[in-house]
Amino acid sequence: MQSNWAVELFLVSIALAAAALAIAAIVLFERRSKRWAATRFAEDVAAVFLFDGQALIDSSPSARALLATSPASGTAWARLSACLSPHFGDLDIQLAHLAEAGSVTLHSTLSPDSPLVLQADLRGGLTRLVLADPSQHGTSTNQDLMAQRALADELHQLRDTVAHAPFLMWRERANGDVIWANAAYMLLASDVLGLGQDLTWPLPRLFDHHAAAQNVIGQRQKLVARQGKTAWYDLTGFAQGEDRLTFACLADQAVHAETSLRDFMTTLTKTFAHLHVGLAIFDKDRQLILFNPALLDLTGLPAEFLAMRPSLVSVLDGMRDRNMIPEPKDYRSWRRQMTEMERAAASGLYEETWSLPGGQTYRVIGRPHPNGAVALMIEDISGEMLRTRRYRAALELSQAAMDEMEEAFAVFSAAGQLVISNAAYARLWQAAPDTALTEETLRSVSALWRAQCAPSAIWADLEDFASNAGDRAPWLTELRLLDGRLIECRFAPLSGGATMTAFRLRDAKAGPQAVTEADTLRKRA
């Protein structure tokens, strides 16, 4: 009985061990089946695709990650083509010849230094595509190779951009220590340090720490380099956590331009200060931005008022209160005239003469300036108007005196233009007294004289006399009108090459003796 029990116990142990081995084998087989069913490329480093025509049969984990980022939709082949075409420009053409070549190797064009490699093989009717990154050889990854390469390329481009940036960039801590800088900063720091000095850590600071730490965009700082050479920079800083990133752009040209503009404005101001013409410049919003001292004297406006940059209408209102503009019949019409004046000045058409109640006379000119500005110039022409009035009165008095003379005369300029005549001349030759003098010449007037006199060679001699630029002597002669009356003619040179012609009717009682004596006085030039 005891031996049978031992045998039975042995048989049971063998059965239990066999069952355990069977269960373990089943579990191991199922695990291996699941792994084989998932993909046969699980250990591949590269992105591997297996196509039957355009149907995807299998792919590696990195290949599936690549397809998930495709911008296209549709079949797996179309999505893969959309991902690879930007990197492999002739992808479709090369794969079209795969049936003839059997194997094709392509290199990406976006990264010539370290290109991606696409290996395409046609075996047994199946197309196997392998996308690999040689720079990651031997590294197992399930991530998108294209995304990794894009990140690497972007990092390389950013580093290259920062290294070649023409402006200064640096990162500093809160205490002012410079912990990073680009190539432009390092070169400038070497130049500032001078000969025999090396760069240390932390990097040398070029600009004032407290000024750079202010949240001011476009803050300007001066930097003195080797041999006393100065340069101006515009600083712009941004806080990044506990650190601060700062940019500095060279501003020498802007500083020189501003200095030149300031000097030019100073020169203009000094020039305007010596002008006797009042100048007021209004911007596009019609606010006073510039005026000279003469404007204070001509308008009577206080300097404090003009310094507050009043509007054009306010300036004109102040002038009206001081009787420095022509007084209109009513205020509404005056304001309308001011609006029209502003529009005319903006188009460059305004120019007027103001007769003020106090007796002064102003010439007001409005001229447009760039960017919609308007310049208003006020000039006191009271003296000029007074001289003009006096000159006109003298001319009128002289003309009135000449019109009272019995002798008819006319004066011609050196160019032969009729410049003056009297009433006796108009009566003798039946000329219209209101004819514009500039329209008459010696040639046209002598034609009128010929038509009313007997034929004579005097007219040709007169034209020669008037056109002679040398020394000339006055001479006398006589003419007979068609009605039989005799005229005593006198021709004399005047200053400036002018010529005077005078005519007087002879007394009917005068005999041939008088005529003979007149002929003997005749002198030709």
H or E stretch at 171 = strand 168-172
The structure tokens listed for 322 are 């001081």
CB atoms under 10 Å from CB of 308, counted, come to 11
Q: CB–CB of 235/255 below 8 Å?
A: no
Q: Give CA torsion, residues 287, 293, 298, 301, to 10 deg.
A: 50
Question: 40 falls in which pLDDT band (50, 70, 90)?
Answer: low
Burial 204-232 (b: 16+ CB within 10 A, else e): bebbeeeebbeeeeebebebeeeeeeebb
Q: CB–CB of 278/378 below 8 Å?
A: yes
The pLDDT value given to residue 514: 41
CB atoms under 10 Å from CB of 369, counted, come to 15
The pLDDT value given to residue 42: 47
Contacts of 280 (CB under 8 A, 6+ apart): 288, 290, 291, 295, 315, 375, 376, 377, 378
Instruction: Please choose, from the candidates 388, 309, 311, the residue with its C-alpha nearest in 3D space to the C-alpha of residue 353.
Output: 388
The 3-state secondary structure of 45-84, one letter per residue: CCEEEEEECCEEEEECHHHHHHHHCCCCCCCHHHHHHHHH
How many Å apart are CA 87 and CA 107, to the nearest integer? 8
Q: Per DSSP, which regions of 192-240 are E strands?
A: 219-224, 230-240
Q: Average pLDDT of 364-389?
A: 86
> Which of helix, strand or coil describes residue 224?
strand
- Angle between the 61-68 and 145-164 helix axes, to the nearest 10 degrees? 70
* CATH class belonging to 279-385: alpha beta
Q: Which CATH superfamily does the domain covering 405-520 fall into?
A: PAS domain (3.30.450.20)
Is it the case that residue 37 has pLDDT exceeding 60? no
Top-confidence residue, 447 or 45: 447
Question: 502 falls in which pLDDT band (50, 70, 90)?
Answer: very high
Burial 12-30 (b: 16+ CB within 10 A, else e): eeeeeeeeeeeeeeeeeee
Burial 137-168 (b: 16+ CB within 10 A, else e): eeeeeeebbbeebeeeeeeeeeeeeeeeeeeb
Q: Average pLDDT of 292-305?
A: 90
Contacts of 489 (CB under 8 A, 6+ apart): 458, 476, 477, 478, 479, 501, 502, 503
User: 202 preceded by cis ω (within 30°)?
Assistant: yes
Question: 248 falls in which pLDDT band (50, 70, 90)?
Answer: confident
Contacts of 220 (CB under 8 A, 6+ apart): 232, 233, 234, 235, 251, 255
Burial of 10 from C-beta contacts in 10 A (0-12 / 13-18 / 19+): exposed
User: What pTM value is reported for the model?
Assistant: 0.44
In the chain, CATH 3.30.450.20 covers: 279-385, 405-520
At position 409, the amino acid (one-letter code) is F
pLDDT tens column, 47-70: 889 998 888 888 888 788 788 877
CB atoms under 10 Å from CB of 495, counted, come to 6
Q: CB–CB of 425/418 below 8 Å?
A: no
Q: CB–CB of 208/192 below 8 Å?
A: no
Is it the case that residue 440 has pLDDT exceeding 90? no
Top-confidence residue, 136 or 226: 226
Question: Among the listed ranges 84-93, 213-222, 270-279, 514-523, which one has the minimum average pLDDT value?
Answer: 514-523
The structure tokens listed for 215 are 């949240």
At position 104, the amino acid (one-letter code) is V
DSSP states of 410-443: EEE-TTSBEEEE-HHHHHHHT--TTS-GGG-BHH
CATH number of 165-254: 3.30.450
Question: 81 falls in which pLDDT band (50, 70, 90)?
Answer: confident
Domain 47-142, second-level architecture: 2-Layer Sandwich (3.30)
pLDDT tens column, 191-247: 777 665 666 777 888 887 665 555 555 578 888 776 777 888 888 888 878 888 888
Q: Average pLDDT of 139-168?
A: 65
How many Å apart are CA 173 and CA 508, to the nearest integer? 122
At position 87, the amino acid (one-letter code) is H
pLDDT tens column, 114-135: 678 888 998 888 889 888 877 6
Please report, rounded to a whole number, the percentage of residues in the chain having pLDDT higher than 90.
8
CA distances for 278 relative to 297, 312, 376, angstroms:
8, 14, 8
CB atoms under 10 Å from CB of 340, counted, come to 11
Q: Average pLDDT of 330-335?
A: 68
The 3-state secondary structure of 365-407, one letter per residue: EEEECHHHCEEEEEEECHHHHHHHHHHHHHHHHHHHHHHCCCC
List 409's β-bridge partners, or say none: 502
DSSP states of 181-203: E-HHHHHHHHHHH-TT----SSB
Q: CB–CB of 65/143 below 8 Å?
A: yes
Top-confidence residue, 406 or 269: 406
Question: 372 falls in which pLDDT band (50, 70, 90)?
Answer: confident
The structure tokens listed for 168 are 């200064």
